[in-house]
Amino acid sequence: MWKSILAALVICVSTLPTLAGLSAKDMELAHGLAKILTIADRCGYLIDQAALKHYYQSSGLDTPEALGAISLLSMNYEDGPPPTASDCTLAKTTGEKLGIVSPKG
């Protein structure tokens, strides 16, 4: 029974990028970006909106499919447990590397 459930889960996860109309790489980008954006307030850093717009455009995430994926993934982080200190450090550091964290944050 567990093998059947695991097999079904693997199939669902492996087809999610295709169903969303995104490549696996774009889905990974959307996942990380959703976390960075969603936990910003709770972690005490700010997102530079002009830099975020540039990042969306330069990374190819300025599509309806990416918007839908990021929105859906963000809901998971909003409804989930609060971020840990390590979550905040990793998200802020990654956001800084991407250039989307405001210098004031």
Query: Does residue 80 form part of some domain?
Result: yes
Residues 45-72: tens digit of each pLDDT: 999 999 999 999 999 899 999 999 999 9
Please check whether residue 34 lies inside any domain of the structure: yes
Q: What is the pLDDT, as a whole number, of residue 105?
A: 55
Residue 103 lies in a domain: no
Describe the crossing of helices 64-79 and 24-38 by its angle, rounded to 10 degrees: 50
Domain total for the chain? 1
HSE, CB side, 13 Å, CA atoms: give it for residue 1: 0
Return averaged pLDDT per consecutive 10 residues of the chain, 105 residues in all: 51 50 88 95 96 94 91 89 96 97 80
Per the structure, the complete domain to which residue 84 belongs is given by: 2-98
> Per the domain annotation, does 15 fall within a domain?
yes
Instruction: Report pTM.
Output: 0.77
Residue 105 lies in a domain: no
Residue 8 belongs to some domain of the structure: yes
The two tokens of residue 21 are 């109309």
- Whether residue 38 contacts residue 91, with contact meaning beta carbons closer than 8 Å, is answered with no
